[in-house]
Structure formats: C-alpha cells, structure tokens
Structure 1
Amino acid sequence: MHTGCMSLTSVRPPMVTVPLSDAPRPALDLTRLPWPGEHVEAGGHRLHIRRTPGPTDDTAVFVHGLGGSSLNWTDLAGQLSEHAQGIAVDLPGAGYSQPPDGYSFDLSAHADVVAEFVRGMGLGPVHLFGNSLGGAVSMLLAARHPDLVRTLTLISPAVPDLRPFPTRMSDPRIPFAMMPVIGPRFRRRLAALTPMQRAHQLVRLCFADPGMVPPHRMAETAAEFAARARIPWAGAALGMMTLGLFRAWLTPPSQSLWRIVPKITAPTLVVWGTEDKLVTVRKAPRTARLLPRGRLLVLPRTGHVAQIERPETVARAALGMWETVAEDRW
C-alpha cells in the first residue's frame, strides 16, 4: 500500500501529489558491489547489461545518461529488486557496448536499439527508467512503442535546455576539444587528467552535495574512467553521443522533443532535483504538464542523478506509481 505522499514543488497549475509506497524494500546498502555484467545478443543487437535478480513477472529496464553507464543504477535497482527483476543497459558507445559500424548515435537510434533489444529478449511491457539522455531516449521509445512500456520514470530527462553548454560539462575545455585546429591541444590536456580527477569533476557537476558520495563509489567511478580510456572506440563514441543530443535540442520545432512528450500514453513519473546543474528544474513543470498521464516529484537538495543521490525516495515514488496504476488510479 502507498500510505505516504510527497507534495510537488513549483508546479503551475497544481497537480496531485505523488504517492510514496511503504512496500517492503531491501535496506539501502551503499557498500553493494555493482550488479554482474554480461554481453547479451537480442533483437539484432549486442549490448552489455547488468541484471538485478527479482520476480520475473515484472521487469524494470534502466537507461543511463550521457557519459554514464549501467553502473548508474546499482542502488535503485537494488531497492526495487523485491518487486521486479532489473536490466540496466549500456547504450551503444557507452560502458562496454561497442557501437556497430555506421551507428548514428542519434536519440532515435538509441530508442530503436533499446526497443528492439527488449522485444528480442521477450520482455514487455516493462517499467522503463531513464536518466538525462536516457530519459530523452526513453520518451522516444515510449511514444513509438507503447506496447513495450507499462510505466515510465524520467529522472531529469534531457529535454531541450539551451543555456550555455560549457558551464554544464564536467570540464569546460570539452567543447574546445571538439573543434578543429585547437582541438588536439585541449584533448591532450584532458587526457592528462587522472581517472580520479575525472571522477571528482563528474561528481561535482552531477551531485548537489559531492561529499555524500562514499569513497568506494568514487573508486568505482574512477575505475570506469580508467577502463574506458583503454577502449579504442570510447572517446569518439562519447563525442558522437554528445553531438547527437545537441542535434536533438537544435532540431526545428516540428521535430522537437516537446512534440514527442504529449504522445506518451504510459503512466509517467517525472523526478527532478532542485539543484540540477545540467538540465534546469524549470523544465520540470512543462515536462510533466505535457504528459497525458504525468506526475511530478521535485526533490530538494538533489542534483542531476536522483536515482544515485536519493535511491530510497525514487524507489518509493516508483513503487507508489506501480501500485496506483495496478489499482487503476493513476
């Protein structure tokens, strides 16, 4: 039963509150190791995924953001593991999923890959989760493949936000590294950063309170940076994924993500942190308002990755949605 509720913040017009479930969940264990990873071929695609064991009659699928990977869902997947099995994917070009030759890295391509992969695994409808770029990908997937999505949870989805880009990157030198002529000099400087320096940059950008990240999680992040530095295609793929997101933001209004949102029929929970530096929380009310079955949860003292910063609260909100949908009251 969902006996708790959390009120919405800064929403006009006002919407109903988001139910917070009191259903049993495992105790949050911040020392938990990442869920085991494996490469799986399904639907014509080979992706690296991390599986969370759980009841097989329900499946949660998790899609990470730009520069992220399946590691971003360790704690939230654990919180939901008594209610659904979990599958966190590495998008092509991210984590350990090698992109196929000629891959476009557009949001549409990502959405099609995840949909075909989920369908190829014989899953669906699933509880779909997306953070940042993964949120935009999940919106496209839900709009195009409604039969695959039972519920949708969007955590700071990367809707168009055209504020100056350099201030919203882990290192302001990244845009210059993509430019001709001066690019090589900036790429050499970026390459000289240690994996731990990169991890600290990322945490400062994405978290409202970087000090809340335990040392072993910092070590995991640094280890992932070190591992990706040894993958030949990783750097170029990240650059192409970044350009793919920018192209989606700069597309004509008739093709904008804002035109996609009203086409999503799945019950949708939108979660946003008030301290999000990457995609402003000011986009949250419009996002939720355009969703035919959307509700908004705004979390104080939270940044861009609420599923990592507030996994217990996000899990209770997601479970509250699942329960309310099952009772046909969403």
Structure 2
Amino acid sequence: MSDAPLSPTPLPPLDAALPPWPGEEVPVRGGALFVRRTPWRGPVEGESADGAPRERALYVHGLGGASTNWTDLAALLAVRFDGWAVDLPGFGRSQPPPRGRYSIRGHVRAVVDVLEHVAAEPGEGSGRPVHLVGNSLGGLVSLLVAVSRPDLVATLTLVSPAMPVYRVPPAFSRALLLLLVPGVPTLAERRLAGVSPEQSVRSMVRVCFGNPDAVPVTRIEQALEEMRERAGQPWADRALARSMRGLITSYLRLGPANAWRAARGLRMPTLVVWGSRDRLVDPALAPRLAAAVPDSRLLVIEGVGHVAMLEAAEPTARAVLAMVEEEAGRPDAAPSPAAADTPRSVRP
C-alpha cells in the first residue's frame, strides 16, 4: 500500500450545469441495461491530441444511485477515457433483473456483461481490459468482478466500497437488519413508497455528503428530476429494498465469496478512495482495505462524505489518472495492445 499521488495532467473546468450524459440500452443476459456514454475528448485545449492515450472506463454506482452519479468524474477523465456508466438492474433507467432477484452475484454478472460489451466495442482500445470504477455497492460489485474476471479489468478504483461490516453504521436504521427476515422486504417497499422525491433527495444529500451545503443547486435539481422519474417506476422501491437485503446477505458469506478474502486476490493496480466524513461506510476501513490489496494506493479526502466522485471529483480524477499514468510507464503513453491483452500482475 502507498499514498495515492495526484496527477498534474491538465483537466477541463468542472461545470455544475453539465447535464447527464446520453445513453442507450446494452444487451446483457436476460435483458438489457441502460448505459450512459461519455466520449473521449483528449487533452485540454492547447495540447495536441496526436498520439494521446485513449482508453476505456466503466463506472458502477452505489445503492440507490444511478449512472448520473458519474457525470462530473467521467467528464474530467474524458481527457484519457471513453467512459461508460451503467444503471444496475432496477436502478436508473434499467429494467429489473429476470425474476426480480437483486443479489450481489446478479449485479456482478450484469457488470461482467457490460464490461465484455465495452471491451468489444470497435475503435481504439477495442479488445483491451477496461478501467473499472465503483462506488459503495458498486465498489463491492466491482471488486468481485475484478477477482472473477481479471482479464477484463486494467485498473480498479474503489470509492467508499460497501465492504462487509458487522456493526451497523449510525447513519443506518437498525431496522434495516430486519430485511433479512422473510416478508419484511415487502413492508420496507411499502414504507419507501411513502417517501416523496423531495424527502429522498434531502435525505440523500444529508447522509452522503460531508458538506451538504456545498452541493450545487443545479445538482440538487437534477437529482430531484431523476427521483421523480424513478417514483414512476413500479419496481423502484423493490429494487432498493431487495438490493439492500442482497448486500447484507453477502456480508454473511465465508470462504472465497467473502469480499475481504477476495480483496487479497486482486492483482491489478487498485486505488482506494474514501471521504473522512463518510457516514455510511466507516473511513477506518480505508487503510484496512488498502493493506489487503497487494498493489494498492490510498486516498482519504478530508471533509468529504460517501460519494467522493460527486463531492471531490477533481482530486478523485487526479488519483485515478496518476495510477493509470504510472502503470503506462510515462504520463502521456498509452498501453500497447500486447501489454493490455495480458492479465495484470503484482509488480516486483
């Protein structure tokens, strides 16, 4: 483990009024998922795009989130990446999974399918491993994807991943543990149905951000619009309640299926990002996770909460770029196809 350096690569200015990136449905086993696309823009103005690295990244949101959580980070990383951001089954604009099962394994299969689609897309970077970035539930899913399919993952970035814990965080209601009891998820869905979009957004901002007052008004308005759209989906509350149940159930797994044990098997360069004011996943887990991963870098951002890619997009982007630039061997070099097609291993 080492402290994560920050890349000096010039980045475009952040635009709080930037709308969500457009997207389309991508076929996966049993259906399709909605995936937003952030096109590569290359170096910022004044720098030549000739020979500039052009790689691919996939972004995976957390519980209750959506592909729109990555609008700012994907825009910054577009200096190097063509970006894809997926709506997990039942979230955002994606339909529910087949038979309505919201297990962690199901989310892992869905992300593997999208990764295979992204890697196979024609154009520069086709056939190469993809840079995988996940937050919260999406971070846990991304970790398990990287362990099971290392051939698809060039680097891994985990933003406050929902690693197994055995004490309920204060920000959670202990009633959430009742989701493990048969029949209770249905009651939770009914309760969620009674929460207005405005209440949901206020709660999300209060719990997920280290400094809620600093969230741009335009982002609040976009979140409200998205929550109102989600309120019209008959499966939305079930997706949230049952995914939470699936997450808690995954914490009880032992052996190779346990995420902490899986983390020790990661072999690609990995960046762990955490906010010091994370109220949902204890920041004390950050150094523990970074120490468990053989080739890891750790970035703890002071004053930031659970969604560093939203609240601190620029330092998060610079840490991702520094890892990728280090792996490439020089700041402006793209990986060769031969190297990219080879599963990554721990550096000597």
- Range into which the TM-score falls when normalised by the shorter chain: 0.7 to 0.9
How far 1:17 moved relative to its partner? Answer: 2.8
Tell me the TM-score normalised to structure 2 length: 0.83
One-letter amino acid of the counterpart of residue 34, structure 1: P
Secondary structure of the residue that 2:84 maps to in structure 1?
A: strand
One-letter amino acid of the counterpart of residue 269, structure 1: L
* TM-aligned CA distance change 1:183 to 1:285, over 3 Å: closer
One-letter amino acid of the counterpart of residue 82, structure 2: Q
Match status 1:98 vs 2:100: no
> 2:158, 2:139 → 1: CA distance?
5
Asked whether the equivalents of residues 193 and 237 of structure 2 are also in contact (C-alpha less than 8 Å), the reply is no
Asked whether the equivalents of residues 75 and 308 of structure 1 are also in contact (C-alpha less than 8 Å), the reply is yes
How far 1:42 moved relative to its partner? Answer: 5.1
Q: Write the deviation string for residues 136-190 of structure 1: whole angstroms up to 9, x where unpaired.
A: 000011001111111110000110122226x434x77766799789988876664
Sequence identity percentage: 43
One-letter amino acid of the counterpart of residue 28, structure 1: L
Match status 1:142 vs 2:146: yes
> 1:276, 1:294 → 2: CA distance?
20
Aligned to 1:110: 107
> 1:284, 1:271 → 2: CA distance?
8
> 1:258, 1:305 → 2: CA distance?
21
Aligned to 2:221: 219
* One of 274, 277, 287 as aligned partner of 1:275: 277
Moved more, 188-197 or 29-38: 188-197
How far 1:208 moved relative to its partner? Answer: 0.5
Asked whether the equivalents of residues 73 and 308 of structure 1 are also in contact (C-alpha less than 8 Å), the reply is yes
Tell me the TM-score normalised to structure 1 length: 0.87
* One of 233, 242, 245 as aligned partner of 2:244: 242
Aligned to 1:311: 313
Match status 1:29 vs 2:15: yes
> 1:98, 1:182 → 2: CA distance?
23
Aligned to 1:153: 157
> 1:312, 1:183 → 2: CA distance?
38
Give runs of ≥4 in structure 1 deviating > 6 Å.
171-186
Unaligned runs of 5+ in 1: 1-14
> 1:177, 1:325 → 2: CA distance?
42
One-letter amino acid of the counterpart of residue 148, structure 2: R
Asked whether the equivalents of residues 205 and 277 of structure 1 are also in contact (C-alpha less than 8 Å), the reply is yes
Aligned to 2:196: 194
> 1:175, 1:223 → 2: CA distance?
30
Moved more, 20-29 or 95-104: 95-104
One-letter amino acid of the counterpart of residue 53, structure 1: P
* One of 127, 135, 138 as aligned partner of 1:131: 135
Aligned to 2:326: 324
> 1:108, 1:236 → 2: CA distance?
17
Q: Write the deviation string for residues 249-279 of structure 1: whole angstroms up to 9, x where unpaired.
A: 1223553111110111110000011111111
> 2:181, 2:249 → 1: CA distance?
16
> 2:133, 2:171 → 1: CA distance?
23
> 1:216, 1:299 → 2: CA distance?
23
Moved more, 60-69 or 98-107: 98-107
How far 1:239 moved relative to its partner? Answer: 1.3
> 1:317, 1:183 → 2: CA distance?
38
Q: Write the deviation string for residues 111-157 of structure 1: whole angstroms up to 9, x where unpaired.
A: 12211222134054011000000000000110011111111100001
Match status 1:168 vs 2:154: no
> 1:226, 1:133 → 2: CA distance?
22
Moved more, 176-185 or 142-151: 176-185
Asked whether the equivalents of residues 92 and 110 of structure 1 are also in contact (C-alpha less than 8 Å), the reply is yes
Secondary structure of the residue that 1:128 maps to in structure 2?
A: strand
Secondary structure of the residue that 1:102 maps to in structure 2?
A: helix
Q: What is the aligned residue count?
A: 314
How far 1:99 moved relative to its partner? Answer: 2.1
> 1:254, 1:84 → 2: CA distance?
32
Asked whether the equivalents of residues 31 and 98 of structure 2 are also in contact (C-alpha less than 8 Å), the reply is no
> 1:313, 1:119 → 2: CA distance?
29
* TM-aligned CA distance change 1:195 to 1:172, over 3 Å: farther
* TM-aligned CA distance change 1:186 to 1:49, over 3 Å: closer
Give RMSD over aligned pairs.
2.5
Match status 1:41 vs 2:27: yes
